[in-house]
Amino acid sequence: MPFIPGYSNGGNLDNNTLSLNATHPGLNNETEYNLHNLFGKMMGKRTYEFLTDSKQYVNSDKRPFILSRSTFPSSGKEVSHWLGDNKREWAYMNYSIAGIMNFNMFGIPHTGADVCGFFGEMRDDDMCSRWIQLATFYPLARAHQNLTWNGGASEPSEPYRLVEPYLTYAKNSIHDRYQYLRHMYTCLFESNQWGGSCFDPLFYYFPTDDNLFDSIESSFMVGGALKVSPVLSPNTTHFQSYFPAGKWVSLKNFSEIIDS
């Protein structure tokens, strides 16, 4: 290789994978160098083809659910996606918004993040409850945690383990998610039939409002109709949310967004 990228865990492009000059006989002897980034895409596609082929799979009339971390633009036709291992930090909760927006742009609308974080020893109930509130509007929402951390056990972070009042916040958010499922399902169905996205930055809908190009991840649109402004910092009881046309609204807590 003419260069060696300096990514964090070291090594070159051959590290922990096939040699880049390996060939794929079934694909006209194309090299691994040209196909490596498509490997996850091809695995998802082949799995989908198997699960929907009546000659190969007895339950081919059922809708398959395939969750993949290795995807490529257009993989959403066959699979869902999660954003990979994240951390139990407020910053990673914020990052998830941009991540889901990006994958909607890539043609993978059914995307989400590990709610409450994957890596980390201690559970932060404030952050976890806020993350569950945010995940109310994820296209794909799931809890997923690392079983060990630096040789020890990560503190469990399932919603039912939270202490009050965070437990009640989590219960209310999960209840709210079920209320919005029809709206999200409709958007995902439309995306499946005609293309599109379900989790977008506000400037998609209000491109002439320059204020929406600041703090893009602080608010987002769900299903083309709901504007969501989650709490993204600790110990927050009041915050401001910008609405297009230059209007700022002060909110006391997350429930006011849902109720109004």
- Is residue 255 situated within a structural domain? yes
Cβ burial of 243 (10 Å; 0-12, 13-18, 19+) is middle
**76 lies in some domain:** yes
* CATH number of the structural domain spanning residue 105: 3.20.20.80
Looking at the domain assignment, is residue 21 inside a domain?
A: no
User: At which residue do the structure tokens 């007895």 appear?
Assistant: 58
Residue 200 CA to its chain's centroid (Å): 12
pLDDT, tens digit only, all 260 positions of the chain: 555 666 555 566 776 778 888 998 888 899 988 888 898 999 999 999 999 999 999 999 999 999 999 999 999 999 999 999 999 999 999 999 999 999 999 999 999 999 999 988 889 999 999 999 999 999 999 988 888 777 677 888 899 999 999 999 999 999 999 999 999 999 999 999 999 999 999 999 988 888 888 878 889 999 999 999 999 999 998 888 888 876 666 655 544 444 33
Nearest to 40 by CA among 6, 73, 5: 73
Contacts of 196 (CB under 8 A, 6+ apart): 109, 187, 190
Q: Which two tokens stand for residue 16?
A: 């922990």
- The answer to whether position 166 is within a domain reads yes
The amino acid that residue 55 corresponds to is K
Q: Return the beta strands (E) in the chain as ranges.
A: 23-24, 30-31, 67-68, 80-82, 111-112, 114-115, 142-143, 148-149, 152-153, 199-200, 220-222, 226-228, 239-243, 247-251
Position 155 in a domain: yes
168/160 Cα distance (integer angstroms): 9
Instruction: Supply the DSSP symbol for 203.
Output: G
Pairing between β-strand 142-143 and β-strand 114-115 as defined by DSSP bridges: parallel
Domain total of the chain: 1
- Say if 53 falls within a structural domain: no
Asked if 231 and 133 touch (Cβ cutoff 8 Å), the reply is: yes
Q: With respect to residue 16, please indicate whether it lies within any of the assigned structural domains.
A: no
| Residue 109: cis peptide before it, omega within 30 degrees of 0 | no
Only one residue has tokens 């709610």, namely: 115
The answer to whether position 157 is within a domain reads: yes
Write out the residue range of the structural domain in which residue 166 sits: 65-259
